[in-house]
């Protein structure tokens, strides 16, 4: 009877079930029963099998089982938000893996209870990347097999003959301490069953399905860059969010520990994650009930990879929902999902007892009833559900040595201030005394490059501060010497008038002499005299810091120098002629600039930060007209860009990633300042009020009658400004881009706290305006690519067309300088080549030489998806071993093929399609020939990329023969003498050649 089944509650809402031997025989029926008890509401349930049941008599004979593709899990991030990269390692046997897992390097730490172990996990998740023996095809069950569950998912296999590895076939997982499965739902939002065969426990976190959408919105807010690339980026299994972050943002979750010999069941659309406590072995697969069909129909799938699991729902709808089949095919069958409702199979337990219901078959019987089903079709395999193996990994993720224990940061950047000791624990407090910083060479006490230092253009007291504890990134410190280059001629010019109107040109409120003497027009009480230091009226009382000089100002910029007028030669800068802060204030020019920017997409002077990215990705920003001539559009700035401090809490005690100024369709009202004409989204600027009030809106600077105040972080006027600390003003655009700037009131986007910006940021020179400004001014950011030191003001970079787009937390903006923005040559721009034409091509020695096209021949390439989830699209027909493709042609789409790879080994794969690509036979001056694609050849009149120019060579008789030699005597070459200035940048030739190979 039902009473025989004992039920217990795990942590919070996760239920634990203890079935009898009889109940345990019918898996599908027991799943229906636990749903009748409400187990599915938590998204996760534990089933402890009866003591009489044993999955396997012994595990002693599995030592020689091969783990073909173990993965090393590198985790980057901090403050509870992490990204996991999986790097494939060489194959290991279970015996070798066990020895590795129990070694001193990878073994579990000492702990008294699971709570202590959990704290150690999240504290050390970025250190010493473990190795996970994941996605091993096979099963360790004897008679009872996890692949014979007889659920409706078997409909796919029995009626269509399709096998999906790891979905309706089992996978084995060999874990060690700290190996992790990141937040995800199952493929197609299926159920899953996980059995821990032996070893150390496994910790699970789970979010109830009814809160899944909230969790997705939170993840999209923290990782907007990943979200824009792929809507279903959580399916990549690369995102880790700690329980502390979930608590802070009000996302309900439960946690439970799975011991050896226990089953865990995950339910449809239940986000779950977890980690292993030590060496163990688990087995899992997916299954389904009738309740899942609706989830499968509405599952949001990954669109950025070719090898993600996708199951056609037609067969399920036709069999189990025949009355809705026509609507489903027409795309009109959309029904809201009730996450609390149990599966239809559970109705017998809501009305009848366990024994009264007829049995649907025994799990132990396996597939005994297969003969009564339709004829078995030869099984075929489709896309796998393996862990996402990273083909491109950030430079800072993989350590140089496996023995090094490093703290892997997300992205290497210039270390502006020496990193503090990790044990330092200092927190920012309010209302402390202040000290004055000097502009001389001053060594501050060690702080992180992400901590903040107050900045003022004039000698004012700087608010004292202490530092907030964060995890520090241990990464190689790049060289501090700046290598800046001007690429302005390549920039996209703005479609603005090159100069202000005649009236604007004469509407200068100050002359040079007035600026120098501090005289201001009488109508503006906030004019330029405010920038002259008045020692008799200190802004803040300060206490001298014992290690910093009292007498020197932070920046000596007490008056404005008007630059001699020069003709602007660069197109992008022509519209900005009268907007540079070194020029006299010109309100008419600023109004014209603001008005012009508000009339072109994205129609907001803050969203314009991502305008170049919007154009590059062909995103369409459309205006939505509302009654009264009011206009709305969708902002480009994610909310996370304003809310960067996860360690801070709102007054309500919970984090906030929503915005009340956004409509349900994601649009926001566009408002224009009636005085300076700046146009912004209400959500981007934090504007609130009724419709009538917004029609006569004043921006914060105009409302404060501070129209002559400029942004203290850059060298340009115009745009939307907000008040910052220390009576300063700052562009909202600049505050978003500078990582250490913080919006104190996130909803109002003001004031902006600049006190944590490290002082070396202000010493960086902007590559775009340094020749236009006499003095070093503002705060620069750097290119986000590796160790690139190119620095620029956010506003200058935006005007110059630098590609910037939202990045994943904690980096708000990913900037790509023009050195790294080298778009590939499009097929449309590549002209056909003729036989006999002189071209430039890459020789086998790695350098580029002049050559000649000898022959053009169309070549057939095959595209396949391998069993490990990787794919190739440049296989030759003769690479297929189990079919004579040269004579018979390509296999049918979906056919299983055997591919001989370049290493001589044969791999299983699934055929996708064939491509016919023209190939060019090119002959070099030494007589050698090579067959290449069109994109690998450059005609003499094409512009060459920088990487090609740097490796161009001229083939002289002697030098070219040496390059072609297999054996080159190293001693015959004269030793290079390295310039001591660049000694640290020098790469040894042997290493260089290895990299090139």
The 10s digit of each residue's pLDDT in 281-298 is 999 988 999 999 999 999
Same domain, 779 and 712: yes
Among candidate residues 910, 932, 950, the one where a domain is terminated: 950
How far is the C-alpha of 723 from the C-alpha of 700, rounded, in Å? 7
Average pLDDT over every residue of 228-238: 90
CA angle 385/389/393 to nearest 5° reads 150
Q: Which residues contact 797 (CB under 8 A, 6 or more apart)?
A: 768, 781, 804, 815
SS3 state of residue 437: coil
8 Å CB contact between 344 and 293: no
Q: Write down the catalytic residue from 118, 157, 165, 186.
A: 186
Average pLDDT over every residue of 401-410: 39
Same domain, 80 and 191: yes
355 inside domain: no
Same domain, 166 and 99: yes
138 inside domain: yes
The model's confidence at residue 164, banded by pLDDT at 50, 70 and 90, is low
Residue 87 belongs to a domain with what CATH number?
2.60.120.650
Same domain, 932 and 792: no
Catalytic status, residue 277: no
Q: What is the mean pLDDT of the chain?
A: 75
C-alpha 561, offset from chain centre: 43
Same domain, 618 and 744: yes
**Residues of the chain above pLDDT 70, percent:** 67
638 inside domain: yes
Catalytic status, residue 205: no
SS3 state of residue 276: strand
pLDDT at residue number 488: 35
Average pLDDT over every residue of 492-509: 40
Q: Which residues contact 961 (CB under 8 A, 6 or more apart)?
A: 926
Q: Which residues contact 466 (CB under 8 A, 6 or more apart)?
A: 426, 427, 428, 429, 432
8 Å CB contact between 683 and 708: no
Residue 928 belongs to a domain with what CATH number?
3.10.330.70
pLDDT at residue number 421: 39
| 564 compared with 237, residue with greater pLDDT | 237
How far is the C-alpha of 881 from the C-alpha of 896, rounded, in Å? 11
The model's confidence at residue 865, banded by pLDDT at 50, 70 and 90, is confident
Average pLDDT over every residue of 838-861: 88
37 inside domain: yes
Give the single-character DSSP code of 862.
E
* Total of domains in the chain: 3
8 Å CB contact between 156 and 162: yes
524 inside domain: no
8 Å CB contact between 463 and 420: no
pTM, to two decimals: 0.58
Q: Which residues contact 550 (CB under 8 A, 6 or more apart)?
A: 435, 436, 544
How far is the C-alpha of 672 from the C-alpha of 688, rounded, in Å? 13
Average pLDDT over every residue of 764-784: 89
SS3 state of residue 906: strand
- pLDDT tens, position by position, 808-837: 877 889 999 988 876 555 544 567 888 899
N residues, the chain: 997
Same domain, 808 and 880: no
8 Å CB contact between 393 and 175: no
Q: If 0-12 CB within 10 Å is exposed, 13-18 middle and 19+ buried, where does residue 427 land?
A: exposed
Q: Kindly report whether the peptide bond that precedes residue 111 is cis, defined as omega within 30 degrees of 0.
A: no
| 275 compared with 489, residue with greater pLDDT | 275
The phi and psi torsions of 739 (rounded to 5 degrees) equal -55, -40
Same domain, 896 and 759: no
Take residue 657 and report the two structure tokens written for it.
């990633």
| 509 compared with 566, residue with greater pLDDT | 566
Same domain, 238 and 308: yes
pLDDT at residue number 522: 39
pLDDT at residue number 38: 93
823 inside domain: no
Same domain, 716 and 582: yes
| 442 compared with 290, residue with greater pLDDT | 290
Same domain, 795 and 886: no
pLDDT at residue number 335: 87
Same domain, 150 and 259: yes
Q: Over 80: is that where the pLDDT of 319 sits?
A: yes
8 Å CB contact between 171 and 313: no
Catalytic status, residue 618: no
Give the single-character DSSP code of 781.
E
Q: Write down the catalytic residue from 148, 197, 272, 818.
A: 272
pLDDT at residue number 557: 42
pLDDT at residue number 660: 80
Q: Write down the catalytic residue from 36, 203, 284, 464.
A: 284
Q: Which residues contact 480 (CB under 8 A, 6 or more apart)?
A: 414, 789
pLDDT at residue number 680: 96
- pLDDT tens, position by position, 123-146: 999 999 999 998 888 888 765 455
450 inside domain: no
Catalytic status, residue 110: no
The model's confidence at residue 893, banded by pLDDT at 50, 70 and 90, is confident
How far is the C-alpha of 749 from the C-alpha of 643, rounded, in Å? 10
How far is the C-alpha of 91 from the C-alpha of 908, rounded, in Å? 16
Q: Write down the catalytic residue from 166, 175, 274, 869.
A: 166
Same domain, 88 and 149: yes
Catalytic status, residue 889: no
8 Å CB contact between 131 and 179: yes
| 623 compared with 387, residue with greater pLDDT | 623
pLDDT at residue number 92: 93
Catalytic status, residue 272: yes
CA neighbor of 481 nearest in space, from 764, 821, 801, 695: 764
Among candidate residues 909, 926, 950, the one where a domain is terminated: 950
How far is the C-alpha of 222 from the C-alpha of 216, rounded, in Å? 10
Among candidate residues 784, 816, 848, the one where a domain is terminated: 816
Q: If 0-12 CB within 10 Å is exposed, 13-18 middle and 19+ buried, where does residue 721 land?
A: buried
The model's confidence at residue 622, banded by pLDDT at 50, 70 and 90, is confident
SS3 state of residue 78: strand
Q: Write down the catalytic residue from 40, 158, 184, 818.
A: 184
pLDDT at residue number 927: 86
Residue 120: its H or E element: helix 114-124
pLDDT at residue number 429: 37
Q: Write down the catalytic residue from 173, 295, 848, 849.
A: 173
Q: Which domain holds residue 698?
A: 572-644+661-816
Q: Over 60: is that where the pLDDT of 266 sits?
A: yes
514 inside domain: no
Q: Which residues contact 220 (CB under 8 A, 6 or more apart)?
A: 227, 638
Average pLDDT over every residue of 115-122: 95
- pLDDT tens, position by position, 8-24: 544 458 999 999 999 98
């Amino acid at each position: 009877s039902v009473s025989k089944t004992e039920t217990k509650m795990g942590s919070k809402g996760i239920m634990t079930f203890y079935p009898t031997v009889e109940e345990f025989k019918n898996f599908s029926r027991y799943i229906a029963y636990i749903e009748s008890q409400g187990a599915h509401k938590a998204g996760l349930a534990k089933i402890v099998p009866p003591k009489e049941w044993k999955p396997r008599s012994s595990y002693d004979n599995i030592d020689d089982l091969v783990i073909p593709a173990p993965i090393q899990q590198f985790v980057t991030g901090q403050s509870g938000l992490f990204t996991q990269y999986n790097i494939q390692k060489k194959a290991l046997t279970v015996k070798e893996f066990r020895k590795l897992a129990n070694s001193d390097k990878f073994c579990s730490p000492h702990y008294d209870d699971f709570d202590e172990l959990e704290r150690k996990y999240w504290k050390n998740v970025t250190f010493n990347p473990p190795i996970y023996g994941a996605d091993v095809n096979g099963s360790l069950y004897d008679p009872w097999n996890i692949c014979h569950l007889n659920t409706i998912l078997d409909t796919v296999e029995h009626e269509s003959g399709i096998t999906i590895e790891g979905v309706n076939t089992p996978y084995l997982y060999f874990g060690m301490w700290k190996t992790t499965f990141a937040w995800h739902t199952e493929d197609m939002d299926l159920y899953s069953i996980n059995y821990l065969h032996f070893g150390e426990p496994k910790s699970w976190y789970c979010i109830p399905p009814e809160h899944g959408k909230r969790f997705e919105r939170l993840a999209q807010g923290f990782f907007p860059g990943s979200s824009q690339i792929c809507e279903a980026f959580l399916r990549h299994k690369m995102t880790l969010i700690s329980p502390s972050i979930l608590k802070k943002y009000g996302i309900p979750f439960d946690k439970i520990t799975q011991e050896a010999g226990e089953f865990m069941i995950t339910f449809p659309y239940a986000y779950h994650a977890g980690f292993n406590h030590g060496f163990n072995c688990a087995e899992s697969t997916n299954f389904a009930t009738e309740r899942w069909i609706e989830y499968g129909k509405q599952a949001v799938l990954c669109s950025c990879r070719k090898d993600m699991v996708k199951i056609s729902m037609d067969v399920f709808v036709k069999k189990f929902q025949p009355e809705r089949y026509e609507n489903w095919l027409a795309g009109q069958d959309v029904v809201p999902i009730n996450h609390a409702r149990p599966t239809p199979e559970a109705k017998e337990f809501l009305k009848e007892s366990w024994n009264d219901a007829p049995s649907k078959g025994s799990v132990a019987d396996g597939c005994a009833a297969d003969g009564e089903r339709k004829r078995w079709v030869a099984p075929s395999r489709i896309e796998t559900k393996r862990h996402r193996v990273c083909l491109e990994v950030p430079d800072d993720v993989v350590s140089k040595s496996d023995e090094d224990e490093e703290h892997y940061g997300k992205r290497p950047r210039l270390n502006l201030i020496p990193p503090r000791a990790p044990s330092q624990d200092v927190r920012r407090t309010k209302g402390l005394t202040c000290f004055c910083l000097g502009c001389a060479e001053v060594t501050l006490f060690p702080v992180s490059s992400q901590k903040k230092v107050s900045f003022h253009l004039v000698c004012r007291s700087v608010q004292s501060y202490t530092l907030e504890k964060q995890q520090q990134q241990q990464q190689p410190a790049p060289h501090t010497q700046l290598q800046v280059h001007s690429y302005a001629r390549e920039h996209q010019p703005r479609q603005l008038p090159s100069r202000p109107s005649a009236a604007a040109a004469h509407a200068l409120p100050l002359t040079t002499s007035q600026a120098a003497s501090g005289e201001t027009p009488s109508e503006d009480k906030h004019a330029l005299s405010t920038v002259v230091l008045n020692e008799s009226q200190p802004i803040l009382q300060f206490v001298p810091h014992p290690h910093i000089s009292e007498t020197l100002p932070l920046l000596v910029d007490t008056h404005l120098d008007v630059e001699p007028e020069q003709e602007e030669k660069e197109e992008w800068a022509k519209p900005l002629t009268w907007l540079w802060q070194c020029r006299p204030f010109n309100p008419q020019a600023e109004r014209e600039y603001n008005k012009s920017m508000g009339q072109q997409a994205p129609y907001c002077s803050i969203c314009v930060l991502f305008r170049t990215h919007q154009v590059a990705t062909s995103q369409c920003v459309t205006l939505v007209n509302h009654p009264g001539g009011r206009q709305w559009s969708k902002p480009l700035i994610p909310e996370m860009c304003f809310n960067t401090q996860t360690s801070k809490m709102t007054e309500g005690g919970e984090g906030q990633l929503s915005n009340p100024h956004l409509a349900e369709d994601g649009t926001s009202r566009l408002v224009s300042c009636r005085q300076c004409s700046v146009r912004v989204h209400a959500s981007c600027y934090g504007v609130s009020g009724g419709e009538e009030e917004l029609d006569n809106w004043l921006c914060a600077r105009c409302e404060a009658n501070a129209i002559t105040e400029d942004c203290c972080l850059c060298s340009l006027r115009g745009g939307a400004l907000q008040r910052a600390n220390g009576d300063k003003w700052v562009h909202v655009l600049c505050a978003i881009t500078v990582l250490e700037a913080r919006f104190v009131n996130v909803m109002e986007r003001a004031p902006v706290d600049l006190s944590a910006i490290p002082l070396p940021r202000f010493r960086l020179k902007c590559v775009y305006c340094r020749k236009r400004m006499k003095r070093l001014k503002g705060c620069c950011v750097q290119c986000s690519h590796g160790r690139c030191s190119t620095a620029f003001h956010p506003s200058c970079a935006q005007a110059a067309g630098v590609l910037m787009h939202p990045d994943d937390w904690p980096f708000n903006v990913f900037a790509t300088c023009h050195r790294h923005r080298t778009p590939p040559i499009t097929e449309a721009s590549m002209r056909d080549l003729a036989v006999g034409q002189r071209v430039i091509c890459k020789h086998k020695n790695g350098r580029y030489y002049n050559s000649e096209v000898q022959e053009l021949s169309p070549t057939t390439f095959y595209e396949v998806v391998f069993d490990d989830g990787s794919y190739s699209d440049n296989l030759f027909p003769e690479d297929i071993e189990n079919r004579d493709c040269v004579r018979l042609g390509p296999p049918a789409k979906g056919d299983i093929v055997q591919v001989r790879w370049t290493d001589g080994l044969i791999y299983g794969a699934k055929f996708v399609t064939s491509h016919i690509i023209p190939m060019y036979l090119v002959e070099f001056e030494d007589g050698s020939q090579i067959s290449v694609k069109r994109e690998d050849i450059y005609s003499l009149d094409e512009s060459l990329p920088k990487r090609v120019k740097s490796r161009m060579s001229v083939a002289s008789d002697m030098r070219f023969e040496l390059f072609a030699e297999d054996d080159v005597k190293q001693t015959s070459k004269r030793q290079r003498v390295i310039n001591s200035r660049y000694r640290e940048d020098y790469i040894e030739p042997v290493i260089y050649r290895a990299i090139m190979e």
